[in-house]
Structure 1
């Protein structure tokens, strides 16, 4: 048996696997490290919610930490982790310099989830009704996220598109990036296939998504104002059910039984509500990363209607550049309200088309088997730890950014701590 190593995870929030794909992804990472005999401590400065995953049941220790507080220095020195995993780039900015200073030999991993900055600049461009421009990539938030990637020993990328963007547009070295998408193990895939309901057993449309996530709110508003009126005219007995964690009043105010537009809010069992629906609607107009709602729909054999933004990241560039995602997508892809509505109606009413879409879901999910990714990820982490000095020597830009960031961020944090004293 290998010797026990220590992993410190510093969370942006406490993981909520039932609220978001990010929470599910974090749980996958934690279980992967547990399988490699790591002793794990999950630390977070955020307040706990009722939906937090009880990872203590897995033997993971919990720690509450503070922002801009030297108490973290004593905490990390006492813990002496072998690996530190930062949950999002803002956490690396806040705590990365402290880890580098007090635990210089600890491997630093950045869990990007999606590229936060890409989602942000796309949202701004969308609201300004214009395409992305070259200067958008020079915005402060983009440069901050790229700097955090450079400073870390390895960054986890979940999307094919974002992997290509980081390497080919931003010239990040591949040896500090790891493609690690959402994954399923063989037992899960078999179970989902066996339990998936058939066409005649299902009814209604469903949307599900965390409402702290701006693209989800925009998609629901798009459904309400432009898409659902077109669908409801053609299918008189179907309802659209809107589920998701943390719906604000502006979301619940959209609830209208007469229009069969039903805002349900938190789903006690997301698999049940998506698995009972005949079609999953995801008309996303901006965003980044892999869309967890679509991955979940695939698992449950629920065909989906989404946009080109929605399917982004699921296919390699060769398929995208050849215009072939429509061939392989388990449902339909469209970008205008009328086309989205028409394809949703056709998929809802046509059992042959619907069954073909469900069959495509099982084929596409084969590309996300855990056995294709997690063992390789564990091997890379081990290899980098074994030769960390040489690994970092290949990343002189990261070392330079780490040097200057330690100084500037350290002084800012010390100023804030002194101010708060």
Structure 2
């Protein structure tokens, strides 16, 4: 079996900047632990926050959109597996992979369901109830088509698996649940974490280029933080996140205790020094990396239903799940001031991590799934006629559009 893997990244992984970056590094670790030779390619420019993949033995390649140079590159590499980082990369490069490496197993890592996030955002803008009319949007048509064209899609949330199966009627043989993968939180780690009295202030964290995070910060500033600050006048809210714009930085107000901190070089340190994490997300999808980080560092949370989606299963949350602004503020105050509540919620978080996200629960199984499909690839594809049909029609249109753009760029 060919152990060459190509990952086509929407961006270069930035594990310190975003949950998507952490997720990608976890996927890389899964394949590396199974002795795959990995090449990571992306058309995106690298930022200073990008992880140096060469430091862990991964070949890094810059590629171009709408350029046949990719055909020569992948033909020479001839990978056995190609992973597309988000559906946009499958749209751009999927047909080229199909032409040059027809027998390569194609895996889509959705990160989160973009169509779900987009639909929820539009419903919020319209102040309307989210329903099928918002879920079945133009992004859905592109994203679901991409899922069908691939041999397997990695889905980060159980909720999204259910949406794909029940709302979009996707065959579950094309889907695999793979959440964030964490190390076990041992008794020794728990003991070393700062205790309730050694922590102070509130925190919210999230990449500002991600629209749900920016919306949540505005929501905190306008609707929730004033209610908390009124009862806890000495408390501060520290707002962390990569890529803060000028309009974000202008939100900072020391008098109000609302302080924009920007990029967190060490997420563990800032979370361990903070007593309560706030996640009032009003739209979004997938699993929230900020909640995983909070649980890993023993920081209880107050969060909305959207933030908590897919996170806890049948387990108790590491805090409170509330959507009403006044109740959200009340629970934040309660968690901040009640040591007994706080200790209990912290313990819940450790239980959730060890029961639901321990990487040892998933690594062997996902590789078994990948190997099984790879060993029976033609039969697997015969059971996915919709995917074959979409490849025939959609890929042709994408192909000729791309070739037209390439010729246009030569002039």
Query: Which band: TM-score by shorter chain?
Result: over 0.9
Alpha carbons of structure 1 residues 19 and 120: separation in structure 2 relative to 1, 3 Å: same
How far apart are the structure 2 equivalents of 1:100 and 1:289? 28
Which runs of structure 2 are paired with 1:253-332 in the superposition (5 Å)?
253-316=250-313, 319=314, 328-332=316-320
Shift of 1:191: 5.8
SS of the residue 2:4 aligns to: strand
SS of the residue 1:264 aligns to: strand
Shift of 1:270: 0.8
Alignment partner for residue 81 of structure 1, among 79, 82, 87?
A: 79
Alignment partner for residue 231 of structure 1, among 220, 228, 232?
A: 228
In the other structure, the counterpart of 2:202 is: 205
Render the CA deviation track for 1:17-39: whole Å, top value 9, x for unaligned: 00011101100100110111110
In the other structure, the counterpart of 2:135 is: 137
In the other structure, the counterpart of 2:32 is: 34
In the other structure, the counterpart of 2:147 is: 149
How far apart are the structure 1 equivalents of 2:4 and 2:23? 20
Query: What residue ranges of structure 1 are gaps of 5+ in the alignment?
Result: 320-324
In the other structure, the counterpart of 1:406 is: 395
Which runs of structure 2 are paired with 1:14-413 in the superposition (5 Å)?
14-186=12-184, 189=186, 192-316=189-313, 319=314, 328-366=316-354, 367-413=356-402
Shift of 1:190: 5.3
TM-score between both structures, scaled by the size of structure 2: 0.97
How many residues in Structure 1 have an aligned counterpart in Structure 2?
409
Alpha carbons of structure 1 residues 171 and 198: separation in structure 2 relative to 1, 3 Å: same
| C-alpha contact 1:89 1:145 (8 A) present in aligned 2 | yes
Render the CA deviation track for 1:82-111: whole Å, top value 9, x for unaligned: 000000000000000100111000000000
Render the CA deviation track for 1:291-313: whole Å, top value 9, x for unaligned: 11011101111000000011001
TM-score between both structures, scaled by the size of structure 1: 0.95
| C-alpha contact 1:242 1:265 (8 A) present in aligned 2 | yes
| C-alpha contact 1:4 1:39 (8 A) present in aligned 2 | no
Query: What residue ranges of structure 2 are gaps of 5+ in the alignment?
Result: none
How far apart are the structure 1 equivalents of 2:90 and 2:310? 24
SS of the residue 1:232 aligns to: helix
How far apart are the structure 2 equivalents of 1:315 and 1:262? 30
Root-mean-square deviation (Å):
1.2
Shift of 1:405: 2.0
SS of the residue 1:143 aligns to: helix
How far apart are the structure 2 equivalents of 1:212 and 1:234? 32
| C-alpha contact 1:4 1:37 (8 A) present in aligned 2 | no
